[in-house]
Structure 1
Amino acid sequence: MADFDIKMIAEELKNYDGEEVRIMEVCGTHTAAISENGIPSMLSEKIKLISGPGCPVCVTVTAVIDKLIELSMRSDTVVLTFGDLIRVKGTFKSLAEAKGEGANVKMVYSPMETVKLAKEDPSHTYVFAAIGFETTTPVYATVLEEAVKNNLNNLKLLTSLKTMPEVIRFVVKNGGGVDGFIAPGHVATITGSNIYKELSKELQIPFVVSGFEGTQLLLTIYSLVKMKGKGGFKNLYKSAVREEGNIKAKEIIQKFFEPSDASWRGMGKIPGSGLILREEYRKFDAGSDMLDEDNMPPGCRCADVLVGKIKPADCPLFGKKCTPDTAHGACMVSTEGSCYNYFISGRR
């Protein structure tokens, strides 16, 4: 876009004086990009940005953390996880706290490290904490492909995998009222844009697929403001998102995983919103069934934040008992979490 167009759009957004518009970004990376680019300060007070349930760490129930801790306490088992998840509290403690008490917990940067470690050390079972959305699921499927190829019976996944369409329907039904969605860009590279086009028709709410640069996010917000009350769909991230998505990634997901019900932090079990290992690959599962219990910390309002009922700063713990250094809720732990991004950017 030309500079003139961006300036015009920015001016219109700042001076907008129509009906209030509530726009939800579903993707945690969008939440971070919106804060990093200072976009809230560029908008009229009548344009409200709200964060949705697109941070994988934020929507993981405490039962998953508790199970990982239980596994890590076994002498023959090592739990592998990403950095954000290691700090999220389960019912009583986090994986980081368990590690401090002697549990076998190791932070890694790629799920593929699980394959290398399992090959090198057959005396231990290596369990990867496989959380995430459609974006990361192909990587977990690739790990399983390597496990099958190398006959690694000491490699397992504890899965808490979510899919977007059903939780978006849940938010529309149970949230604080959404006038438009910034569709998750990373997820859309895998799923394709068509599913959001279909959701827009079904829900009669506009969706715009967006990238992560500040100018594109401004254009996306501008488009959604103009589309309020009309429905409709746009893909403004065509450089990465095709209508049909990534066919190879979807094929490997389908090979190893099948749809299931899934439990979301503070939201309960949402039918058809998750993925589990297919029956023929269940030997690689570390006990992912029935991990539904969700013991939210007292006073934590993460659940209401995730569906847009309140802003992070409306939680009584925000900035007091709950900060990035003393996180109570998962939304303050992850760098993609809405509470974390509100706190570090000073948003209120």
Structure 2
Amino acid sequence: MKYIDEFQDPDLARRLLDRIHATVTRPWALMEVCGGQTHTIIRHGIDQLLPDEVELIHGPGCPVCVTPLEVIDKALEIASRPEVIFCSFGDMLRVPGTGRDLFGVRGEGGDVRVVYSPLDALRIAQQNPDRQVVFFGIGFETTAPPNAMTVHQARKLGIRNFSLLVSHVRVPPAIEAIMRSPDCRVQAFLAAGHVCSVMGTGEYPALAERHRVPIVVTGFEPLDILEGVRRTVEQLERGEHTVDNAYPRAVRAEGNPAARAMLDDVFEVTDRAWRGIGVIPRSGWRLAERYREFDAEHRFSVHGIDTVEPAACRAGEVLQGLLKPHQCEAFGTVCTPRTPLGATMVSSEGACAAYYLYRRLDAAPARQEATSVV
């Protein structure tokens, strides 16, 4: 298949669903790692078309959602400074910090700008040599290479008024943390194809073997998800726990060597806090020592941050797969996309946003007859 619409073919979807129904003999709990996959699942009702025995658990795969509150508050403090032009992708502007968000800072007079690439922020720095330009660098392994390349370019060009506020996280340590949790019910993972397109699959075999869980790399269209579920269920039923690449059109075992080389040059692995989860060892990146002058936290020395999460928000439990969004008492009432309590409601990849957008507002509806996913 060559075209996106082929990966939404209802006849092929029915055939995959039939195979899954014919294969499963006992309950299984699968976690999709990526928030983009969660939105595909909820939008197309894939979770309702699967056999009752197959449960899809939503994982912490939304980079906006797991950016820790302390980093959000640091961003707000830096963005409020008159000498700063603060640049970010648009999905971060409404993520709530303690009491306000970046939209609020802009409304108060802060120079907060939406950009579409970190290179846009670097260009703004070139055009405004008398201002400090900060780019909010968040995300998983997919967005880290262009951010690393931008810092590399800033040093090469001698642009000293540019810096990066870094909050990058890594998927494999998160899987490790999930499996070590005493409340874990996950028996297999659907791994994020775009992450593996950068990093490859080299870190996953040890995880699969250590925790005896299948890990199947999948894409983001309905048939990608269903094929990933099919392969995962077949492994579980056979008692196997291997890494399987169901997304070969984008993923190679070695990943993207050029992108990985850039990451190794600019970043170094560090412990990282995840919002609603806590600190996960070696789960993030920070700028390497030779690039430390471009680290916004180092440059602006923000201290005295006192973070306060809304008491009614249970986004942490949603991110850990312990709670479905509609099971939170605040969901759809005091917490909506217009008045979000947590990042999972405002992010375009957040599980709460998916449930609200596609009207999963109450208890899970009854399973539907498998007719179409388009």
TM-fit CA distance, 1:201: 1.4
TM-fit CA distance, 1:199: 1.6
Q: How does 1:69-84 map to 2 (within 5 A)?
A: 69-84=76-91
TM-fit CA distance, 1:177: 0.9
TM-fit CA distance, 1:75: 1.1
TM-fit CA distance, 1:17: 6.4
How far apart, in 2, do the equivalents of 1:5 and 1:127 lie?
Answer: 47
TM-fit CA distance, 1:198: 2.7
State yes or no: 1:226 paired with 2:252: no
TM-fit CA distance, 1:50: 1.3
- Does structure 1 retain, via aligned residues, the 8 Å contact 2:23–2:234? no
> 5+ unaligned residues in a row in structure 1: which ranges?
none
State yes or no: 1:276 paired with 2:283: no
- Compared CA separation, residues 16 and 290, structure 1 to 2 (3 A): farther
Q: Secondary structure at the match of 2:26?
A: coil
Q: Secondary structure at the match of 1:75?
A: coil
- Does structure 2 retain, via aligned residues, the 8 Å contact 1:266–1:296? no
TM score, norm. by length of structure 2: 0.88
Greater shift in the superposed pair: 38-47 or 290-299: 290-299
How far apart, in 2, do the equivalents of 1:167 and 1:290 lie?
Answer: 27
> 5+ unaligned residues in a row in structure 2: which ranges?
2-8, 365-374
Q: Secondary structure at the match of 1:325?
A: coil
Q: 2:208 aligns with which of 200, 205, 210?
A: 200
State yes or no: 1:190 paired with 2:203: no
State yes or no: 1:140 paired with 2:147: yes
Q: Secondary structure at the match of 2:129?
A: coil
Map of 2:274 onto structure 1: 264
State yes or no: 1:156 paired with 2:150: no
How far apart, in 1, do the equivalents of 2:169 and 2:356 lie?
Answer: 26
State yes or no: 1:300 paired with 2:313: yes
TM-fit CA distance, 1:180: 0.9
TM-fit CA distance, 1:295: 2.9
TM score, norm. by length of structure 1: 0.94
TM-fit CA distance, 1:294: 5.3
- Does structure 2 retain, via aligned residues, the 8 Å contact 1:183–1:196? no
- Compared CA separation, residues 264 and 290, structure 1 to 2 (3 A): farther
Map of 2:296 onto structure 1: 286
The one-letter amino acid paired with 2:289 is E
- The size of the alignment, in residue pairs, is 348
* Greater length-normalized contact order (CA 8 Å, ≥ 6 residues apart): 2
- Does structure 1 retain, via aligned residues, the 8 Å contact 2:326–2:355? yes
State yes or no: 1:93 paired with 2:68: no
Map of 2:25 onto structure 1: 18
Q: Secondary structure at the match of 2:310?
A: coil
The one-letter amino acid paired with 1:298 is A
Q: Secondary structure at the match of 1:194?
A: coil
How far apart, in 2, do the equivalents of 1:215 and 1:268 lie?
Answer: 34
Map of 1:115 onto structure 2: 122
Q: Percent sequence identity over matched residues?
A: 39
TM-fit CA distance, 1:41: 2.2
- Does structure 2 retain, via aligned residues, the 8 Å contact 1:23–1:48? yes
- Does structure 1 retain, via aligned residues, the 8 Å contact 2:325–2:352? yes
- Does structure 2 retain, via aligned residues, the 8 Å contact 1:122–1:154? yes
Q: Secondary structure at the match of 2:122?
A: helix
How far apart, in 1, do the equivalents of 2:218 and 2:194 lie?
Answer: 9
- Does structure 1 retain, via aligned residues, the 8 Å contact 2:74–2:302? no
Aligned CA RMSD, in angstroms, stands at 2.1
Q: Secondary structure at the match of 1:48?
A: strand
TM-fit CA distance, 1:71: 1.0
Map of 2:371 onto structure 1: none
Deviations 1:138-193 (A, max 9, x none): 00011112201211110000100101111111111225410110001110001102
Deviations 1:249-286 (A, max 9, x none): 00000000000000001111111111011111100011
TM-fit CA distance, 1:14: 5.2
TM-fit CA distance, 1:8: 3.3
State yes or no: 1:329 paired with 2:342: yes
TM-fit CA distance, 1:13: 3.7
Q: Secondary structure at the match of 2:55?
A: strand
